[in-house]
Amino acid sequence: MTAAPVPAPRTVVEAFLPLDGEVGLDLVYGTANAAGLADQPVRLAIRRLVAAGDVEQRGRGRAGTLRLTGAGRAQLDRDRLALRLARAQDTGRAPWDGSWHLLAVSVEESARAVRDAWRRELSAIGAAPVSTGLHVSAHDLSALLATADRRHLVLATTDRLEVRGTSDPLALAERLWPAAPVDRAYDALADALARPPAQDPLVQQLRLADALERAVRDDPLLPPELRPQPWRPAQLRRRWYAAWTALAEQLGTRTLYRGWWDA
């Protein structure tokens, strides 16, 4: 078996940031080093987060601490909506109500850059394009758009959707969000779960956090009703929850995502 993948530096830093309070940089750097990351990429990730106004650093080097700003807390909360949605669906707490959510970009031709930016944003949060300027999602994406300027959006909800002659929900889901590439993205998570655990449970948590974030990144997280069953990504996520919970019990207050998981 090849060596375990090295976690992304930004994932390392963000995983340590508690909902409230601060984290010591000695713990961040030490765990990153144990997971195969050198100090420099972690330091660069911290600098970028500070420059963006998302975190505050107090002190220097490993003697310093990091704390989320209000803006950083809001951004990280938005980013973690996907993880909480996945968990809710995988535990049967978020059944699909049969609604399709339509999002249309309405921008004059002179503001083409604004229109293109909105299209990229909608695709990034999992909405699928169905026509020029029109996207659709099986989820209400309002929470992900809460801080954006909606002057250029038209929003609507329907319980019937037909796209190029297809109206069956399962067939529509496969047309708009093909299952195969989503399933392949979870190969890395399957690999992480199959590997012998790291000696340090915090390093193991970090590797699991990185693997899940990579898998979920391009997953539209469709409701289970819109995927073939059994659905391997959901099965792998359930295994991940079990492994994560066991590690969290060992780590106590040292656990990653502290204060976020049940927020």
Reported as a single tens digit per residue, the pLDDT across 135-159 is 999 999 987 875 556 778 899 999 9
- Is residue 193 included in any domain, yes or no? yes
- Name the pLDDT band for 262 (thresholds 50, 70, 90): low
pTM: 0.91
Same domain, 15 and 81: yes
Same domain, 184 and 87: yes
Neighbouring residues of 196: CB distance < 8 A, sequence distance ≥ 6: none
- Is residue 104 included in any domain, yes or no? yes
pLDDT of the residue at 224: 97
- Is residue 165 included in any domain, yes or no? no
Same domain, 70 and 137: no
- Is residue 244 included in any domain, yes or no? yes
Same domain, 75 and 187: yes
Same domain, 17 and 86: yes
pLDDT of the residue at 148: 55
Same domain, 119 and 216: no
Same domain, 86 and 114: no
Could you report the per-residue pLDDT of 13-69, keeping only the tens digit for each?
999 999 899 999 999 999 999 999 999 999 999 999 999 999 999 998 899 999 999
Widest CA span in the chain: 62
- Is residue 174 included in any domain, yes or no? no
DSSP-derived letter for residue 136 is E
Could you report the per-residue pLDDT of 173-212, keeping only the tens digit for each?
999 999 999 999 999 999 999 999 999 999 999 999 999 9
Higher pLDDT, 34 or 263: 34
Cα 11 to Cα 77: distance, rounded to the nearest angstrom = 14
Same domain, 183 and 151: no
Task: Give the pairing of strands 134-137 and 153-158.
Answer: unpaired
Q: Which domain holds residue 142?
A: 100-158
Same domain, 111 and 144: yes
Percent of the chain, pLDDT > 90?
Answer: 74
- Is residue 173 included in any domain, yes or no? no
Q: Which helix (H) or strand (E) holds 243?
A: helix 232-251
Q: What's the total number of domains in the chain?
A: 2
Residue 216 CB: number of other CB atoms within 10 A? Answer: 20
Same domain, 73 and 200: yes
- CB distance 203 to 58 below 8 Å: no
Cα 170 to Cα 167: distance, rounded to the nearest angstrom = 9
Same domain, 242 and 131: no
Same domain, 80 and 119: no
